[in-house]
Structure 1
Amino acid sequence: MGRLEAMSLLVAVAEHGSLSAAGRALQVPLATLSRKLSDLEARLGTRLLLRTTRKLTLTDAGVAYVAAARRILEQVEEAEREAAGEFTAPKGELVLTAPLMFGRLHVLPVVADFLAAFPDIDIRLLLSDRNVDLIDDHVDMAVRIGPLPDSRMVATQVGRMRWVACASPAFVERHGQPQRPEDLQRLPCAAVASVLAVPSWRFREPGSGAALDVAVRPRLSVTTPEAAARAAVLGVGVTRLLHYQAVDAVARGELQIVLEAFEPEAVPVHLVHPSRGQMALKMRRFLDFAAPRLRQALG
């Protein structure tokens, strides 16, 4: 077990880029971590890490050893899961993640029905608008809204989601209905906080499909889509949200969609999971259970 532990520590150091960051993530004292890695190097008779006061890099031997260690650790994890019965019966804990509001509206009802149907499976549902790293954070499956840049993931598309611009009826009556996206530059807006000093909202020409990027200057910047929707309901300005973030307020008549003809192409919604050989039955059961229900909800 000591050798596997040392492999795990080395992989963590390589992934986090420093001993201190790996130690914090693993909750291992820095002195213990350094000693165990030194013991590993002594056992192998070669240097795996080059440490300076400013950075840490892998030697050529270290790069090869880390790649092999990852493969070995994945095989051990899979063997343990198989021995525990995860590949012969749907049981154990399933860790899921989804965007905060989407998870509350669409994923949580599916999870509740799934738990009733599969009493031997427990679920830990992480709701966050931050895209967690499925491998580093030990998450089994995630809902992702938007393009998928990570080729390590296996994806099942469950729908598409519109981007909508919306405002309160009173705001539209007071300021007039915007006719083109450029009209937003003269209107007050409520936006979800962006790293850009002047956020840009993307629209599309109805005829040609050409992209239109409109820089808006928000009267109010907030940190969550729910707050942006609420601000728009209160008449602060126009906001731009994914459709699910505004749909309840639109249904109640508190918001109305504007510039609908200029909406950009809808973005895909996927269930994704890491590609790690055979899928545990608890994951297969959830995928088969959740995908059609989410497709129906998003349809």
Structure 2
Amino acid sequence: MVKLEGIATFVAVAESGSLSEVARRLRVSRSVVSERLVELERALGTSLLQRSTRRLALTEDGLAFLERAVRIVREVQDAAADLAERRGELRGPLRISAPVTFGRMHLDPALYPFLARHPGILLTLDLDDRRVDAGADGFDAVIRHGPIADRYLVAWRIGASRRVLVAAPAYLARHGTPRSLEELDGHRGIYYLHRGVADWRFAQADGMRIVRGQPGLVLNNGDMMRDAAIAGLGIALLPRFIAGAALAAGTLHAIDVGVEAEQEHLYIAHADGQHPSAKLRALAAWLKDAFGSPPYWDTL
């Protein structure tokens, strides 16, 4: 008979690669972990792990079994969390993906009081600037910044995001300050890799206008874009949640070209067809309240 504790132990060992680490995490002896794995292999009639004195490796059958084993463990965890929510508790795993810069600067400080209030929640936060697939990559939700373009996502707005053209005082002293969209064309641009040179979008009365400066630097991280602008390498179009402190300190200056950049939003989204848990709904409401309306970074 295949036991759930054996499956959960196998998944933990496959993820960590260490029997000792799993024993410490589960608060059992190393021999108990080994016994559970042997019992599971006996019940399945195959070897799942290749053991040596130096390392653990999954066998071909182990790799095949792992994918379903992970799903089984998650389903049981989610079922237990659903029962807790029926009793008015928020507990169980919550897996979130978020952009690196926003996560480090603003999401982390907002999350800690939420987790302190709900200690039964086990949060896994993956900071990554790539646009992960909320459903296929195993996340309960993703936090994103920008236009909501994915039809398979159900999105809740948690904050507005104003973007502003910025440059270092030294850059503007050397190259001049553009005063119109037309004057931007001759300037060196710092662009976000995942949007490219079509990212400079401005709302005009007759529609959206895209301005393409001279590509000078293309990066995949907001912190580095801000720092490159401070270093005088060009003009960047940055959210105020990234540029606000530098603008307040005077290391960056805002550039007024007579029109506002396209309005964007921060949102938390889950896969369409996936029932959002009470944990996720509570987190979305908490973040929206923590960021404020207008969000605090727009008032710096």
TM bracket (short chain): 0.5 to 0.7
How far residue 205 of structure 1 moved from its aligned partner, in angstroms, is 6.1
The equivalent of 1:210 in structure 2 is 207
The equivalent of 2:181 in structure 1 is 181
Alignment of 1:278-297 (within 5 A): 278-296=275-293
Alignment of 1:47-196 (within 5 A): 81-83=78-80, 85-88=83-86, 89-193=89-193
Q: Is the 8 A contact 1:86 1:281 kept in 2?
A: no
**CA–CA separation in structure 2 for the residues paired with 1:235 and 1:160:** 28
The equivalent of 1:263 in structure 2 is 260
TM-score calculated relative to the size of structure 2: 0.67
**CA–CA separation in structure 2 for the residues paired with 1:152 and 1:195:** 20
How far residue 134 of structure 1 moved from its aligned partner, in angstroms, is 1.3
The equivalent of 1:253 in structure 2 is 250
The equivalent of 1:223 in structure 2 is 220
Amino acid at match of 2:128: S
**CA–CA separation in structure 1 for the residues paired with 2:275 and 2:190:** 46
How far residue 195 of structure 1 moved from its aligned partner, in angstroms, is 7.8
**CA–CA separation in structure 2 for the residues paired with 1:256 and 1:209:** 28
Query: What SS is found at the alignment partner of 1:148?
Result: coil
Pair 1:239-2:236 in alignment: yes
How far residue 161 of structure 1 moved from its aligned partner, in angstroms, is 1.2
Give the length in aligned residue pairs.
235
Q: Is the 8 A contact 2:80 2:92 kept in 1?
A: no
For structure 2, which runs of at least 5 residues remain unmatched after alignment? 3-57, 66-70
Amino acid at match of 1:153: L
How far residue 213 of structure 1 moved from its aligned partner, in angstroms, is 1.8
For structure 1, which runs of at least 5 residues remain unmatched after alignment? 3-26, 36-72
Query: What SS is found at the alignment partner of 2:131?
Result: coil
Q: Is the 8 A contact 2:190 2:235 kept in 1?
A: yes
Greater shift in the superposed pair: 180-189 or 157-166: 180-189
Greater shift in the superposed pair: 159-168 or 249-258: 159-168
Query: What SS is found at the alignment partner of 1:227?
Result: helix
CA RMSD, 1 decimal: 3.3
Query: What SS is found at the alignment partner of 2:182?
Result: helix
CA separation of 1:77/1:229 partners in 2, compared to 1, >3 Å: closer, same or farther?
Answer: closer
How far residue 91 of structure 1 moved from its aligned partner, in angstroms, is 0.8
User: Percent identical across equivalent pairs?
Assistant: 27
How far residue 296 of structure 1 moved from its aligned partner, in angstroms, is 4.4
CA separation of 1:99/1:260 partners in 2, compared to 1, >3 Å: closer, same or farther?
Answer: farther
Query: What SS is found at the alignment partner of 1:154?
Result: strand
Alignment deviations for residues 70-127 of structure 1 (CA, whole Å, 9 cap, x no partner): xxx99x9767633453432311121111111111122111111111111111211111
CA separation of 1:223/1:90 partners in 2, compared to 1, >3 Å: closer, same or farther?
Answer: closer
The equivalent of 1:29 in structure 2 is 60
